Every structure is written in structure tokens, then in C-alpha cells.
Structure 1
Amino acid sequence: MSTVADELAALTPKPDTDPYNKGRIDLTPDGAEISNVTVDKPIHSDWTPVFALFNLDASVFEVVDDTVRMSTWQQSARAKDGDRDLVQLYSYSARFRRKPQGRLPDTEIEKRRKAVRSWKLPTRTRRTRPGTPVTAVVNLADIQGGKSEGGGVAATQQRLLDGLANVDQWLDRMARDHNITELIIANNGDPFEGCAGNYASQLFTVELNLRGQMNFVLDVWELYAKTLFPQFERAQFVSVLCNHTELGRFGGPKNQTSDSDSGGAFLAETLRRILSARPEFDHVQWSIPHDQMNVYTTTVGGVRLGFNHGHKIAGNDATGFTKWLDGQVRGDLDAHATQVWVTAHRHHFQAFDLGSCSVFQCPSLDGGSKWLRDMTGKYSRSGILAFLANPASPLGWSDMAFL
């Protein structure tokens, strides 16, 4: 008489008696590798039975050509009635890559671009008022256009449109108490995502190809410039070099020529060419680096500003920045003379006072990082950092806002 335990034991496969449905799989961010997976039916093109052994979805993987190895043999196996029979077994080893996520179709891309180009605020020219001239500084950091995380391109576009409306409202509030005569729009780096090389799964997650990403950024920058620059007597566009827009070859993440080979710098120069042909932008000054990581400018009131992306700064928080700045001043007197530093790269807002200068680390405009949240639980809010470069303030700035 058999017991329930006996019946369960009979149904449970044992390594020494179950000759198939076993093997090994190694997962990586780029794909997977199966080793000695044994099944009782041949695999032709559908690898679903193999991935099902590991509770994985075969539809997200595709086999890498010429990596399939297989063998077959007959083996004695015990049937349910106790008799023994011969079964044909098949063993496979192969490498797989993750399939790219679907790129946005051309119709969707054109729809997005049309929405950006047609978005408008009421045309206005801001009037100056008595008082010390101050400069409004608007920082567009880590847009990473084309990234799929956080809602993808559609959500990034909406954040940028909402951000422009928020900036306009903030300028209205600031104009009640300050004589804003100048506006700086800063590209603080990583305006587009890139397609490969910055991290393992990048190629498989972006929604726009490189051409689409660069057009997206140019549309957004042009919208901000056309909306905001004509409102002020003086204007500046400041751009920095960064890591995600380095123009590497063969999909590599690093420049193969020099630091000047920057997609972000190219887009800044392209924007300058577009706007320089129009008289309403004759008053705009441009700070576009060649291969310099630090970019400096002086505001209408004489406040000295320094910008960089921050990917060359080792360490975090005030300690890391202080160590970096101490080294910079050995060969760059402008670094020490700077009153307000603006960086980005680390995707979250920080601010600290170092005595000789104040430092702002900008939040990002992208949709966040799933990897960072999975690894650490940390996350940050997207937004635009804005402040007034104010010579009347002891720190050289006032009225900082997270928009």
C-alpha cells in the first residue's frame, strides 16, 4: 500500500533518474548563454521549451549566429508502469542576445516633433525695473532624449514643456522684486542618451536612434530659445562637454579623436547657426567649448559663473567637489575666481557653500534610473534648476528654484 509521500516522491524528478529537462543558463545585461540543456524534442527555431525551464520569456532573446552546439543520443528511461524504454535526447548550448525594444515609428516621432514646434507661450518683452541688474540662469541638465525609462520620449517631452511653462511663471514672480535684464540658458550636459557604449543594455532600450535623438534635442532647445531669449535685453547660451554625447566610433563610449568630438557641442553650434540668421537673436552670446571641460561666463552684474557636466569630478558631495576644485586651481585661475559653480551628471539636486564659491548640482530631466533604484533604493525627482545670479547677494546668487 503506497502512501501520499510515496506518490509525491515518484512524481518528483530526480537528477539521477530524470534524463532530460535540465541544464544551465547564465544571464547577463546583454543576453544569455545556455549550457548542456537537455530536452526530449529537437529545437528547430522555437527556443520556448528551453527558456521555459528557467521561467524566462524566450521572445525577448534571439540566438547569436553560429553559436549553437547540439548533440543527440538514445538513453534508457523507466516508464510510468515500471517498464524501461529508449528515449531520444537532445542537448544544446548556445548564446543569445536580448532583442532591441521597439523603436518609435516615424509617424510617432513626427507627431512628437510637431507638438514641440507648435507649443507656444504668449509673446512678450519683459520690462526692466529700477534696481541692480540681475541674470536669470535656467539649467537644462541630463535630458538624455531617447531614453525609454520613466515613460520614454513622450514623458521626457512633457516634462520639458511643463518645465518651460514653470520657468516662465518663475520669471514672472522674480520680476516683481528684481530687475532681470539678462537670461542664461545652459546645456549642462547629456542632452541626448546615445545608443550604445555607456552601459550594457543601452542599445536594447533606447526609443530613438541617434539621428532622432539629436533632432529631439534641437527642437527642444530651439523652443526654449525662441520663447525666452526675446524677452530680455541680454541673453546667453552656455553649453558644456559631457559623456553621453561623445562621438565614439564603432559604438564605443569614448571619443576616438579628442574631447572636442562632442555631439552636444555640435548641436549647440547648430542652434547658433539657426538663430544667428534672425535679428531677434542678435543679442545672444554663445559659450560653446572646443575641448575645455570647464566653461566660464560673467553676467551683466559681474557675477562669475562656472559650468561643467561633472563626469570628470571624482567622488561625491562637497568632499569630492572640494578635492577636484583644489586640483583645478593649480592650473586654472578662473576655477578659483568663480563665484557660482553649476554641475550635473549625478541626476539629483545638491547645493553647498565652500566659502569661496557656491556649488549647485542640477537635477536631471530624464525619467530616472531603474538600475539605481533596484541597486540602492534611491531615486531623485526630475526638474529644472533655476536661480538669479545676483551681484547684490553676498553669495552671488539668490532665489534658487527647483522647477
Structure 2
Amino acid sequence: MSFADDLLKQPTAAESEFKPRTEFDGATGGYIQTGPLDTAPKSHIELLEAFGYDPDEVQIVGAPRVSRWQTYDERWLAAYRFTIAPHILGLDVNELLDSIRDREPHQPTGITTGGAFVFQAGDLQLGKIDGDGVQGTIDRYFAGVDKAIADLKQRPNIGAVHLAYVGDCIENGGVSQGGKLAWRQSLTVTEQVRLWRRTLLETVKAFAPLTDELVVSVVGGNHDDATRLPVQTRADDNWATEGAIAVSDALAENSAAYGHVRVQVPPRDQGYMTVGVGDSVFTLLHGHQFRKGKAADWWASQAFHHGNPSGADFLLHGHWHELAIQQAAARTIICSPTLDGGSAWYRDKTGAESRPGALIYTTRGPALENLSLV
């Protein structure tokens, strides 16, 4: 070796050979990283099985991240990184309709008083990976439904049941916050909507036998928007209300069992609605229409301009992820807590975590009774 060669020496790295690898926490998600391949994997099922996963329990979501390079002998190779998540199994459309058609006719309860039992829920954000993820949200939600039904059975002379959903029913990370949350979701948007739709349907089926007037009110939140970038859509163009409309269509297949159920969503290009249930009047909206703590100002402005909310006894909303109640004279504002698994970003920033759950309470005209977090 010449002196010049000696001067040209460099500390070349001893590169570690790339090996296929995978990680999966069993609850929210993980990844599969393939080794160098001449061709793309042809079967997701075979790929999952090759890495030791059961395709009935784990699924590949979204498109893979691909790295390509050319070898010294001019061959092109590629490595693929696949996102994996728990497999959400569900009924197809025909099975969904069959589950409605097979229900027995409704047996009237005979209760005719004006009171309303309210089950208020919001910010499920189905598909969000934070905290205990989708499974935690579903478990928490249906535990609340079970407690609500047990409570309803102990409250005599309640003439109507109001299932009030105040938005952000799905995560839709590709739309919210300019799409920055697209990677922080374990389900595709269609899977999120499917899960929301079937969750709502199962809730209706659980409450329907217990009342002669079941009202299902659904408004959309900012996470529910069908699209926002690069163009804004109408206020009513969202997945929360579309899921409710699908449930309404399914219920119509068996009017004998569900003729006493009324599903309602806001009118065209409007993000809120004012509805009567029993002898109480409710305005529902998500809450992204105003700053935190400013619900009363929004309500006052609507009343000043003779909007329908001026006649409401109750303003129900979500968005702020914590229980809040404000009362003045005959008006009551109720903000839903969240039902999702929390926010890692908010916890890191402030240390705070919301207490999740749904709300149950009884209304009689403008009166509020027996509110509980379930």
C-alpha cells in the first residue's frame, strides 16, 4: 500500500445485515418489516402467517412503506414495512339486516308520562390508538350501556328514552388537524364507520324493548367530517350522521319491532339541531363551534337571532373531553366527557387525563334529575 493509499483510508462502517422483524403490542397495533424482496408480497394472509400471526386476529391496514434500491449486479430489491392492527370482525350488510328482521314485535310498555331518560355520549373517536385503544373504548361504552339499562329499569314512569350522541364518533385522523393524525389510528375510515354504525345499532336493540318512544339524535363532530382539505364540505356531510342514517334504514326493515324508534340528524348544511323528546327540548351540537366555556354565548347569540335553540331547555355538546354542567334559571348546558382512551399529547403537555364515560339523567320539562357518569 502506497503512502497515498494510506492517506485515503476511511473508517468504513461494518454494516449490520438487515433482518426481517416485527412488533405488535396485541392491543393497538404494530408493524411488519420484510427483508429485501424481488417482488412485493402477494398475499397479506401468507405474510401474516409467515411472521407468526393469526389472520383472524391481526390484519394489515393501509398501504406499506416501501424502500427500493439497486444491487451491484443491477437487480432491484425492495423492503416493505406494513402497519398491523387487531382484526375487527363484523357482519356484512345482509347479516345486519337479518339481525333486524328477526327481532320480535315490540310489546308496548304503556308508560305515557312526559319524562325522558337520557343516555348522552360523545367523543368515542373509534380508531384512535391512544390509551387502551379501540377495544378499551368499546368495552367502556357498552359497560355504560349496561349500567344505563339497569338504571332505567329502576326509574318508574319514564315515558321516553333519548339516546343523544354529540359527535366525534370516529377518529378520522386523515381529516382532523389537517391530516396530522393519519398514522395515529388503528382502523381505516370505513372500518371506523362500520364499527360506529354497528355500535349504534346494538345500543338501539338494547333500549328498544324498554320504552314506547325511543329517540336517537346524532350530530357530527370535527373528527366526523367526510372531508376538509383541500376543500371544506357541508356541515352535515359527516360519518357520524351517515352511520345513523344507515341504522335508520336498517330499522325500517322491521317496523313491527322498531316502529317506535325515531332516528334524527341535523338538516342540510347545519351542524346542530333542536328536538323535542318527552316534554323537554334539546339542542345538540358537538362544541367545536365555540371556545371552551363559551357555550352560553353561542346559545345566547342563537336566541338573539331567533334561532330554534332559543326554545331549548338543554344544550348538549362534547368536544372538550370533560364533564361540565352549567345552569341558569331554566337553562342547562351539559358537556359530555370523552369515551376514548385519552390523549397522549395532552397528557404529555399538561399531565392531565379526563375521566371517561357516558352520562345518564332524567329530564322533566326544564328540570334535570339524577345525573350520573357511567
Global fold match (TM > 0.5): yes
Q: What residue number does 2:47 align with?
A: none
- How far does residue 129 in structure 1 lie from its aligned partner after superposition? 6.0
Equivalent residue letter for 1:323: D
- 2:282–2:315: 8 Å Cα contact kept in structure 1? yes
Bigger radius of gyration? 1
Q: How does 1:4-403 map to 2 (within 5 A)?
A: 40=13, 101-105=83-87, 108-110=88-90, 127=109, 132-175=113-156, 179-199=157-177, 201-248=180-227, 252=228, 256-278=232-254, 279-289=256-266, 290-301=268-279, 303-314=280-291, 316-317=292-293, 320-391=294-365, 395-403=366-374
User: SS state of the match for residue 299, structure 2?
Assistant: helix
- How far does residue 264 in structure 1 lie from its aligned partner after superposition? 1.3
- How far does residue 163 in structure 1 lie from its aligned partner after superposition? 1.4
- 2:302–2:308: 8 Å Cα contact kept in structure 1? no
CA RMSD of aligned residues (A): 3.5
Q: Which runs of 5+ in 2 are unaligned?
A: 1-9, 20-31, 34-63, 70-80, 100-104
* Matched pairs, number: 305
- How far does residue 212 in structure 1 lie from its aligned partner after superposition? 1.0
User: SS state of the match for residue 102, structure 1?
Assistant: strand
User: SS state of the match for residue 109, structure 1?
Assistant: coil
Provide the rounded CA distance (Å) in 2 between the counterparts of 1:159 and 1:205.
Answer: 20
Equivalent residue letter for 2:117: A
- 1:390–1:396: 8 Å Cα contact kept in structure 2? yes
* Bigger mean CA offset, 203-212 vs 191-200: 191-200
Change in Cα spacing, 1:167 to 1:345, as seen in structure 2 (3 Å) is: same
User: SS state of the match for residue 150, structure 1?
Assistant: coil
- How far does residue 104 in structure 1 lie from its aligned partner after superposition? 2.7
User: SS state of the match for residue 192, structure 1?
Assistant: coil
Q: Which runs of 5+ in 1 are unaligned?
A: 1-18, 21-38, 47-58, 69-98
- 1:265–1:288: 8 Å Cα contact kept in structure 2? yes
Provide the rounded CA distance (Å) in 2 between the counterparts of 1:102 and 1:136.
Answer: 41
Equivalent residue letter for 1:331: H
- 1:247–1:254: 8 Å Cα contact kept in structure 2? no
- 2:106–2:257: 8 Å Cα contact kept in structure 1? no
CA-to-aligned-CA distance 1:241-275 (integer Å, 9 cap, x gap): 21111111xxx557633223211121111110000
Provide the rounded CA distance (Å) in 2 between the counterparts of 1:367 and 1:402.
Answer: 16
User: SS state of the match for residue 309, structure 2?
Assistant: helix
Change in Cα spacing, 1:142 to 1:168, as seen in structure 2 (3 Å) is: same
Q: What residue number does 2:6 align with?
A: none
Change in Cα spacing, 1:188 to 1:233, as seen in structure 2 (3 Å) is: same
Provide the rounded CA distance (Å) in 1 between the counterparts of 2:65 and 2:197.
Answer: 37
TM-score, normalised via structure 1 length:
0.67
User: SS state of the match for residue 386, structure 1?
Assistant: strand
Provide the rounded CA distance (Å) in 2 between the counterparts of 1:339 and 1:253.
Answer: 36
CA-to-aligned-CA distance 1:277-323 (integer Å, 9 cap, x gap): 1121111223211221221111222x111111111112x22xx1222
- 2:219–2:285: 8 Å Cα contact kept in structure 1? yes
- How far does residue 208 in structure 1 lie from its aligned partner after superposition? 0.9
User: SS state of the match for residue 289, structure 2?
Assistant: coil
- 1:196–1:253: 8 Å Cα contact kept in structure 2? no
- 2:283–2:316: 8 Å Cα contact kept in structure 1? yes
- 2:337–2:358: 8 Å Cα contact kept in structure 1? yes
- How far does residue 65 in structure 1 lie from its aligned partner after superposition? 7.3
- 2:316–2:335: 8 Å Cα contact kept in structure 1? yes
Equivalent residue letter for 1:170: D
Of structures 1 and 2, the one scoring higher in RCO (CA 8 A, sep 6+) is 2
Change in Cα spacing, 1:197 to 1:135, as seen in structure 2 (3 Å) is: same
